[in-house]
């Protein structure tokens, strides 16, 4: 995640617990957020979601602060049944 975002993305949320990591990074252009990267990893499964569009920067930062992207990402993964290849797959 750091290698992808280090030069052109801004972290708006980063939470590192013992075995969990949640990161939301954005790329802005003028007065809008153009790209959103959501990374979740709990040491057993992980997800990396990418959104491209024209997003309200205030709303994006508010959602990041309230940890809504973590829940949002988990719901998308559950809905579509996507998973990270690993021991259980």
pLDDT in tens, 40-85: 888 787 888 899 999 999 999 999 999 888 888 778 877 776 554 5
- Residue 6's pLDDT band, with cuts at 50, 70 and 90, is low
pLDDT of the residue at 71: 82
Answer whether 23's CB lies under 8 Å from 14's CB. Answer: yes
Distance CA 21, CA 14 (A): 7
Which residues, 6 or more positions from 56, have their beta carbon under 8 angstroms from its beta carbon?
32, 33
Per-residue pLDDT of 7-39, as tens digits, reads: 688 889 998 888 888 889 999 988 899 999 998
Confidence (pTM): 0.77
pLDDT of the residue at 83: 53
Please list the residues that pair with 23 across neighbouring strands: 14, 39
pLDDT of the residue at 52: 95
């Amino acid at each position: 995640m750091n290698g992808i975002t280090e030069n052109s993305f801004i972290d708006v949320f980063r939470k590192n617990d013992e075995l969990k990591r949640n990161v939301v990074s954005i790329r802005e252009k003028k007065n809008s957020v153009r790209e959103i990267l959501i990374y979740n990893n709990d040491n057993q499964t992980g997800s990396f979601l990418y959104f491209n569009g024209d997003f309200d920067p205030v709303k994006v930062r508010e959602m990041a602060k309230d940890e809504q992207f973590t829940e949002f990402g988990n719901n998308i993964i559950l809905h579509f049944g996507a998973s990270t290849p690993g021991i259980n797959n």
